[in-house]
C-alpha cells in the first residue's frame, strides 16, 4: 500500500532523514520506533504531505504522492493524527468532527447525514456524550486525543498514521486504545503507528521499522526487531523479554 524509496529530509544543518526505504502492506498494523529525534514524526509528516522530501519518492497504492499537498493526500486516503493534539479550540467536540465529515462528503455522489455520522464516530472512539457539545478548549488531553481520532476516521482513511496516540494515557486507557486500534484495523484500515512503549508495539504490530539518527537500522517482525543486536544497543538498552516469559 505504501512505499518509501530513499526518502531524505534536512532542516538547516540537521539531517532528519537519510535515504529511508520501507513498505507498509495493506491491512497490516506497522510500527515505527526509535529514540527521540530519530525522524519518526518527520517521516509521518512527509507521508501526509506536511513536509516535502528533499529527495526520494513516496508511493501510495502505486501512485507517486511525493509532491502532493496534504489535503489531496488526505482525499486519496491517508490521514494523520498529531503528536501534539490539534483542534479548533472555540468549536465543540462535535463541530470539530463535523469539519472532517464534511470534507469527506466530497468523495460521495450522494449527501451523507453529517451530524449523526459525527456523533457515531465520537461514540466509537469512546468520548462520553456529555462532552459532545463542550468546546475543545475545555477538554482534557485524553478527550482531545479521542476527538482527534474521530476527526481522522471521519475522512474514511485507507491508511491511518498515528503519532504517539497513547501518550499520556493510563494503563487502562492504553489497553482500551489498543483494542480500538485493532478494531479500526479489522474494519479494513491499514495503520502505521509511532509508539515508544514496546509492550504496545509487540502486542499490536505485524511488522516494525526502526529509525536511528534519521536512518533505518532494522525492519522486520516484532520478534526479529527486538532480537536485533543493533536495535538492542541503540534503542532498547536490553533485550525485550516478552517472548521469553
Please provide the DSSP assignment of 150-179 as one string: HHHHTT--SEEEEESTTTT--HHHHHHHHH
The pLDDT of residue 111 is above 70? no
pLDDT category, 243, cuts 50, 70, 90?
A: very low
Q: Span 102-125, mean pLDDT?
A: 78
Residue 109's pLDDT is 45
What tens digit of pLDDT does each residue of 21-63 get?
999 999 999 999 988 889 999 999 999 999 999 999 999 999 9
Same domain, 107 and 146: yes
Residue 112's pLDDT is 60
Residue 81 near residue 32 (C-beta atoms within 8 A): no
- Give the rounded percent of residues in the chain with a pLDDT score beyond 90: 64
Q: How do beta strands 29-33 and 207-212 pair? A: parallel
Q: Is residue 82 part of a domain?
A: no
Task: Measure the CA–CA gap between 93 and 42, rounded to whole angstroms.
Answer: 28
What tens digit of pLDDT does each residue of 157-175 get?
999 999 988 877 788 888 8
How much is the CA Rg of the chain, to the nearest whole Å?
18
Give me the domain span that covers residue 50: 2-77+157-244
Q: Which of 128, 156, 184 is the last residue of a domain?
A: 156
- Give the rounded percent of residues in the chain with a pLDDT score beyond 70: 94
What tens digit of pLDDT does each residue of 114-144 get?
888 899 999 999 999 999 999 999 999 889 9
Task: Measure the CA–CA gap between 209 and 23, rounded to whole angstroms.
Answer: 9
Same domain, 99 and 117: yes
Domains identified in the chain, total number: 2
Indicate the average pLDDT of the chain.
89
Q: Span 183-196, mean pLDDT?
A: 94
The pLDDT of residue 75 is above 70? yes
Same domain, 162 and 238: yes
Q: Which of 80, 71, 63, 79 is nearest to 106 (CA)?
A: 71
Residue 132 backbone zone (phi > 0: left; psi -120 to 50: alpha; other: beta): alpha
Amino acid at each position: 500500500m505504501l512505499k518509501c524509496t530513499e526518502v531524505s529530509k534536512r532542516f538547516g544543518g540537521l539531517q532528519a532523514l537519510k535515504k529511508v526505504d520501507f513498505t507498509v502492506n495493506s491491512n497490516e498494523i506497522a510500527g515505527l520506533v526509535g529514540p527521540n529525534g530519530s525522524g519518526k514524526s518527520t517521516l509521518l509528516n512527509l507521508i501526509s504531505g506536511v513536509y516535502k522530501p528533499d529527495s526520494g519518492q513516496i508511493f501510495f497504492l502505486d501512485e507517486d504522492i511525493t509532491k502532493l499537498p496534504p489535503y489531496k493526500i488526505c482525499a486519496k486516503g491517508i490521514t494523520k493524527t498529531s503528536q501534539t493534539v490539534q483542534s479548533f479550540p472555540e468549536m465543540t467536540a462535535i463541530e470539530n468532527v463535523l469539519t472532517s465529515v464534511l470534507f469527506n462528503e466530497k468523495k460521495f455522489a450522494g449527501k451523507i447525514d453529517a451530524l449523526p455520522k459525527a456523533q457515531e464516530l465520537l461514540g466509537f472512539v469512546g468520548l462520553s456524550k456529555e462532552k459532545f457539545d463542550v468546546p475543545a478548549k475545555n477538554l482534557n488531553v485524553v478527550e482531545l486525543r479521542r476527538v482527534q481520532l474521530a476527526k481522522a476516521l471521519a475522512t474514511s482513511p485507507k491508511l491511518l498514521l498515528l503519532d504517539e496516540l497513547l501518550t499520556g494515557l493510563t494503563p487502562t486507557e492504553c489497553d482500551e486504545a489498543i483494542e480500538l486500534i485493532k478494531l479500526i484495523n479489522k474494519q479494513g484500515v491499514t495503520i502505521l503507528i509511532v509508539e515508544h512503549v514496546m509492550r504496545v508495539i509487540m502486542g499490536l504490530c505485524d511488522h516494525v521499522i526502526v529509525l536511528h539518527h534519521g536512518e533505518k537500522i532494522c525492519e522486520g517482525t516484532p520478534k526479529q526487531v527486538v532480537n536485533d543486536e543493533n536495535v538492542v544497543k541503540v534503542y532498547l538498552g536490553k533485550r525485550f523479554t516478552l517472548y521469553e516469559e
